[in-house]
Amino acid sequence: MNIAVFASGRGTNFAAVVRAVKRGKLSANISLLVCDNPKARVIGKAKRAGVEVFLIKRQDFASKRDFEERIIQRLEEAKIDLIVLAGFMRILSPEFVQRFKFKILNIHPALLPSFKGTEGIKAAFDYGVKVTGVTVHFVDEEMDHGPIVLQEPVRIKEDDTLESLEARIHKIEHKIYPQAIRLFIENRLKFEGRKVKIL
């Protein structure tokens, strides 16, 4: 099983997946890091882990379609079986998603369908909910919308700051993302309409 991780930032979820592979918890090969940000810290993490980095900048292409076609070409060259989004700060086009239907996983720092978007932790904290959490889902044509694989709640404590909540959310992310990937690798995810059943 060949995995490509897409990331644009610090790469903490990328590192969590790499650790799971190295510890034998995932029978997979992290074949490729796809990154659109030359300043991203994830690039250094990938190099230290021996993972090939495919750095591709949107501004180097005349259109989003050309940009994505080059990514697709590289994914096909690497024979990628699963795409893992780990803080990739670009919305993939419906055409890209269809090309890899049910082969793209994403992690979101809230209990979807609540608090979609890039500020999921802050939005939940500011709203004052008592429970938030983490969601791993398949990507479809809508943002933060596809079939849910795993969720884990995180209670917001009375003395939480945004920073302390973020730290606890990230800890859960690093735990359940490898779990969801393992379920995919082991072919234990069955689609029933919009729902995903774990076998």
Q: Where are the domains of the chain?
A: 1-100, 107-199
Q: How many whole angstroms separate alpha carbon 34 and alpha carbon 43?
A: 9
Sign of torsion over alpha carbons 34, 8, 145, 134: positive
Looking at residue 193, its pLDDT comes to: 82
pLDDT band at 123 (very low <50, low <70, confident <90, very high): very high
Per-residue pLDDT tens for 32-76? Answer: 999 999 999 999 999 999 999 999 999 999 999 999 999 999 999
Largest Cα–Cα separation, the chain: 50
Q: Which residue among 108, 145, 170, 174 is the active-site one?
A: 108
Q: State pTM to two decimals.
A: 0.96
Q: Which whole number is the average pLDDT over 96-115?
A: 97
Helix (H, G, I), strand (E, B), or coil: what is residue 94? helix
Q: According to CATH, what is the number of the domain 1-100?
A: 3.40.50.170
Is pLDDT above 90 for 135? yes
Is pLDDT above 90 for 156? yes
Looking at residue 45, its pLDDT comes to: 98
- DSSP for residue 112: T
Assess whether 170 carries a catalytic annotation: no
Is pLDDT above 90 for 194? no
| CATH 3.40.720.10 corresponds to the domain 107-199 | no
Q: Which whole number is the average pLDDT over 9-31?
A: 97
